[in-house]
Structure 1
């Protein structure tokens, strides 16, 4: 898999780094993996330096599992890699982290790309606690994030199911999900002036289309694009359409 083949480690940080050019930093979601961005790497690593940190979602102390600790980790990683004026992209929880980071460090980031981002509203676990040992429950939750449930391969479902066998892992997931719900950014988004692209699945069940519209309203310099027959992870479910929209956004300045 992509993670195993290309994963690098420097101190406490594990990440993928591929290509040369302007840095594009990608942040995966709560149940995401580095491989979620495989199509983006294949398309853009020819002229971008793509960096994807493996977020320590499953390594945080249970009592500290939440967005504040994840943001600290992200800040430390960016400082370690000495990154500046980079494009920042996040899916789901990764989008939420991108927003929180840019609010603290607006000058460090050039452009922002969000897809299915939390930060305003998300319907992930609902009120249900992740059920250890219940494969059908995990399978249902994973498939719920895709318009075509078959997009979620058995390998992907197995990976998440195996992760959820540990009670501490379940507690971390719940802690981070609750932290995301507490960290609502509605009153802060007007401060962000960076050029922003919002790529949303028209059939997103986790952060529905109205959430994309609300982000578009609150982010003053944003553009919203929808992808039909697509749910919460467009870069996985509709990679070709996703990459076309992203490429148009990245090339806007070149043609201006």
Structure 2
């Protein structure tokens, strides 16, 4: 399946399938294509929606976790989405946590994978070697367990992003905002069933971060995928989808509503 980007109002997004809504949020250097395997598998039974977050276009004073949370809130209202299962990777997980805390009544299930919000060793904050392709390639490969997952297309995309002054300023602002907005005290208030899928070899948000999320979020369950880095849905899509599918069936919205 090739993901078709739709344009409506100020929003660009993917919208595939019918049924319960799975709303997917990508990370700082993420792209809609990161979720290809999830869309292919779950759009047969669910409505899979992925907004393209305006990470590189939003005004600088809004560039941060609160600004991105407001964007998701506006998108959800615009599309009239209800009873969400919210999935977030990396920064997208951070935004998913923030959205859930602000709009708990509209989130029925939460899924985090390699989420920031407690700790991350990220590429954001500064770019001391901008314009150095080999450095960018090395940092992108660092995201994955298997370096070959960092395709030339992916490295080229990140390299082009980091060579734009305007985009860099926003990346740095958002990365600093993510570091400031530590969620440890707030996420104890999350009550919805929560699934944590983590790469056992994640170097950005290491396994200890997953254990801490599991400890702080009461109704959560944690699964590790071996030989896997910061984006399990990209490196091991079949394992990721299998774990997620079991969680969705176990915590079906019709059952939890009764």
Q: CA deviation at 1:128?
A: 4.5
Pairing 1:78-157 to 2, within 5 Å after superposition: 78-125=76-123, 128-129=126-127, 131-157=129-155
Deviations 1:137-189 (Å, cap 9, x if unpaired)?
A: 11111110000011010011101111111111111111100000000000001
Aligned match for 2:54, one of 49, 53, 56:
56
Q: CA deviation at 1:253?
A: 4.0
Q: Secondary structure at the match of 1:206?
A: coil
Specify the alignment match of 1:219 in structure 2.
Answer: 217
Contact kept, 8 Å, 1:132 with 1:167, in 2: the verdict is no
Contact kept, 8 Å, 1:40 with 1:235, in 2: the verdict is yes
Report which stretch shifted further, 11-20 or 61-70: 61-70
Q: Secondary structure at the match of 1:107?
A: helix
Contact kept, 8 Å, 2:126 with 2:172, in 1: the verdict is no
Specify the alignment match of 2:180 in structure 1.
Answer: 182
So what's the TM-score if we normalise by structure 2?
0.95
Specify the alignment match of 1:169 in structure 2.
Answer: 167
Report which stretch shifted further, 20-29 or 162-171: 162-171
> CA separation in 2, counterparts of 1:86 and 1:130?
40
Contact kept, 8 Å, 1:20 with 1:45, in 2: the verdict is yes
Q: CA deviation at 1:133?
A: 1.4
Unaligned runs of 5+ in 2: none
Q: CA deviation at 1:62?
A: 2.6
Aligned match for 1:201, one of 195, 199, 202:
199
> CA separation in 1, counterparts of 2:39 and 2:239?
15
Specify the alignment match of 2:44 in structure 1.
Answer: 46
Instruction: Give the count of matched residue pairs.
Output: 254
> CA separation in 2, counterparts of 1:126 and 1:60?
17
Contact kept, 8 Å, 2:125 with 2:176, in 1: the verdict is no
Unaligned runs of 5+ in 1: none
Q: CA deviation at 1:130?
A: 5.4
> CA separation in 1, counterparts of 2:205 and 2:67?
23
> CA separation in 2, counterparts of 1:49 and 1:215?
27
CA RMSD, Structure 1 to Structure 2 (Å): 1.6
- Relative distance call for 1:211 and 1:165 in structure 2 (3 A) is same
Contact kept, 8 Å, 1:120 with 1:185, in 2: the verdict is yes
Contact kept, 8 Å, 2:108 with 2:192, in 1: the verdict is yes
Q: CA deviation at 1:207?
A: 0.3
